[in-house]
Amino acid sequence: DIQMTQSPSTLSASVGDRVTITCRASQNIKKLLAWYQRKPGTAPKLLVYQASNLEGGVPSRFSGSGFGAEFTLTISSLQPDDFATYFCQQYSGYPFTFGQGTTLEIK
């Protein structure tokens, strides 16, 4: 199985900060990676697919990059609504696997 290692597990930041979350795959997954946002009590929301394609309706302050085995999700200027948990998913091969998640907290 392809292992996905996400870092950091927790990130403290302030409104207006630029933050980056990293996801590393245990093998080459090309660009077959998605990022999701999850808030308590709500269904996860797709943010980015194919590593860098922004899902419709997602604010442009979110961006994804990477290829192969290392990927990043960047939020250019944190907004209050962005404090949530973020996780990555590879869909290069079965079984699809997920990162363990990054909780973005208010500093």
What is the spatial distance between Cα 4 and Cα 29, in angstroms, rounded to a whole number?
10
Smallest distance from another protein to CB 4, Å: 9
Smallest distance from another protein to CB 15, Å: 27
Convert residues 50-89 into a mask of x (bound to another protein by CB under 8 A) and - (unbound): x----x-------------------------------x-x
Place of tokens 């990676």: 33
Q: Is 105 helix (H, G, I), strand (E, B) or coil?
A: strand
Structure tokens at 39: 């808030």
Largest Cα separation within the chain, whole Å, is 38
Q: Considering the complex, state which of residue 75 and residue 87 has its C-beta at the smaller distance from another protein.
A: 87
Place of tokens 């290829």: 67
Convert residues 5-44 into a mask of x (bound to another protein by CB under 8 A) and - (unbound): ---------------------------x-x-------xxx
CB-CB contact of 34 with 86 (8 Å): no
Q: Considering the complex, state which of residue 5 and residue 77 has its C-beta at the smaller distance from another protein.
A: 5
What is the spatial distance between Cα 93 and Cα 23, in angstroms, rounded to a whole number?
16
Give the residues lining the site for another protein (CB under 8 A).
32, 34, 42-46, 49-50, 55, 87, 89, 91, 94-101
